[in-house]
Amino acid sequence: MLAQTPPMGWNSWNTFGRNINEQVVRDTADAIVNLGLKDAGYEYVVIDDCWSLMQRGADGRIIPDPEKFPSGMKALADYIHSKGLKFGMYACAGTTTCDGYPGSFDYEFIDAQTFADWEVDFLKYDYCDRPKLANGPILYNRMSMALKATGREILFSACNWGADESEKWIRSTGAHMYRSTGDICDNLKSFRDIMESQIEKIAYSAPACYNDLDMLIVGMNGNGNVGAGGCTYNEYRMHFALWCLFQSPLMIGGDLSKMDDACIELLKNKELLSILKDPEARPPRKMAQQYPQVQWIDRHVFFKHLSNGEYILAFFNFHDSYEAAFKVELYDLGITVASGYGFEGYEIFSGERTKGVVKNFFETNVPTHDCKIYRLQLKK
């Protein structure tokens, strides 16, 4: 069974956009192995839009652009497989892709077979230029079943940006992950907006079909196709921690040949990846503000159950200039003073331990544009 935990890999779009070619893909596959990202769980190497010619062949099949991919897709798949990785490609449910290349509408079964013949393991399926009368459930069902009909195991990554309340039906189509928002840009506002738009919808995300908050911007530093200002390291840390907390698929979007060591280490953070891969995939619960006199503007607190009996209490400060003094009443998490219970544990980035068992209130200060993530146990 696919996607029992959120799928992980790399996708070409955020950095390379139209400028994708087989050398970039091969170099990225090498880097995923050499930088230890494969060992951390990143396995799918995905070519996004703009890989084909503008016209199909006489047999109706899509033709890879021979200038960008002179060795062809099967050879590229072989190379990626030789590294112990998996190969992903991109197509679109409409008549053209989002960048104007041939779409799969009415060619679904031909295209699925073409991908299977190339030994593709993952298909991202976009939603641009769809005919008005063909709705999302029809189109995603169709390609999902076309892929299954090939007999090859292909992870189906739906990308309809949350349109038509897709969280309510996308799981029924056989999709293994589903983009729930518009495209990410490389800045704090963009990843914050995406995260906040999904707080109320994240409970739909579960094993076999995960809410995809979009490709990661970690380490892009304002460069590439979606570069739009860039983020500080601490902001990338907030972004990555949120994606892990929400158990979003993790598709690296940066250029691995240029990424700094701190960001590579962040992508491999064992604590965060263990939250990402928690098998129960329980949604994080957003804590409400308890004290009206302390405004929780630009702040978020999330509480999450892990399957091993531990808990995550995560604090995010989005305020541009103020440190945040957080105070969470344990009563609001269900723990009464009379029970005698409190939380004991540590903050995952600093390793700093709580002062014994914390009862009644959990307090912590978080600098501007940063986060603290506590891994806790219930103790008396």
DSSP 167: G
Instruction: Judge whether 260 counts as a catalytic residue.
Output: no
Instruction: Judge whether 129 counts as a catalytic residue.
Output: no
The minimum distance between CB 126 and ligand GLA, in angstroms, equals: 5
Encode 107-141: b = buried (16+ Cβ within 10 Å), e = exposed. Answer: bbbbbbbbbbebbbbbbbbbbbebeeeeebeebbb
Site string for ligand GLA, 168-187 (x = CB under 6 A): ---------------x----
Residues 47-106 that bind ligand GLA (CB under 6 A): 48-49, 97-99
222 contact partners, CB below 8 Å, separation of at least 6: 186, 228, 229, 230
The minimum distance between CB 12 and ligand GLA, in angstroms, equals: 9
User: Which runs of E-coded beta strand occur in 12-85?
Assistant: 44-46
Tell me if 126 contacts ligand GLA by CB under 6 A: yes
- Measured from the CB atom, is 191 or 318 closer to ligand GLA? 191
The minimum distance between CB 263 and ligand GLA, in angstroms, equals: 21
- Measured from the CB atom, is 16 or 343 closer to ligand GLA? 16
- Measured from the CB atom, is 54 or 203 closer to ligand GLA? 54
Backbone angles phi, psi at 178, to 5 degrees: -145, 120
- Measured from the CB atom, is 108 or 310 closer to ligand GLA? 108
From 49, 126, 214, 370, the catalytic residue: 126
- Which residues, listed in sequence order, are joined to residue 216 by a DSSP beta bridge? none
- Which residues, listed in sequence order, are joined to residue 316 by a DSSP beta bridge? 300, 371
Tell me if 243 contacts ligand GLA by CB under 6 A: no
- Which residues, listed in sequence order, are joined to residue 179 by a DSSP beta bridge? 159, 212
- Measured from the CB atom, is 251 or 312 closer to ligand GLA? 251
Q: Does residue 309 contact residue 302 with C-beta atoms inside 8 Å? A: no
- Closest by Cα among 355, 349, 345, 343 to 367: 349
Tell me if 22 contacts ligand GLA by CB under 6 A: no
Provide the annotated active-site residues.
126, 183
Interface contacts to ligand GLA, rule CB under 6 A = 13, 48-49, 97-99, 126, 159, 183
